[in-house]
Amino acid sequence: MTSRLATNYPTQSIGRAIDYEAVKRNAFKDQGIVVAKLDDYRLSEWERQFLRNIGGKLYGGISR
């Protein structure tokens, strides 16, 4: 029996590299969770600001 706290996503590497993009892609497809860095080159400045606003609303501002 697996714990409700168990994850389907790798939490550590066991002798091999973790494909973090695949982990993020699977989290989105399986659970609707988006993981994005604000400095991701694939995002426009508008999208970065949009994510900053959402993050600020949910979690508070970013310390710089």
Contact 62, 56 (CB under 8 A): yes
> How many domains, in total, are found in the chain?
1
- Determine, yes or no, domain membership for 42: yes
Look at residue 10 in the predicted model and tell me its pLDDT.
62
* Any domain includes 41: yes
What is the domain range of residue 50? 36-64
Average pLDDT over residues 36-61: 94
Which residues, 6+ apart, have CB-to-CB distance to 18 below 8 Å? Answer: 10
pTM for this entry = 0.64
**pLDDT mean over 19-34:** 93
Reply yes or no on whether the pLDDT at 61 is more than 70: yes
Q: Which amino acid is at 11?
A: T
Within 10 angstroms of residue 47's Cβ, the number of other Cβ atoms is: 13
Q: Is residue 48 part of a domain?
A: yes
Pick the more confident residue, 5 or 17.
Answer: 17
Burial 4-36 (b: 16+ CB within 10 A, else e): eeeeeeeeeeeeeeeeeeeebeebeeeeeeeee
Structural domain includes residue 20: no
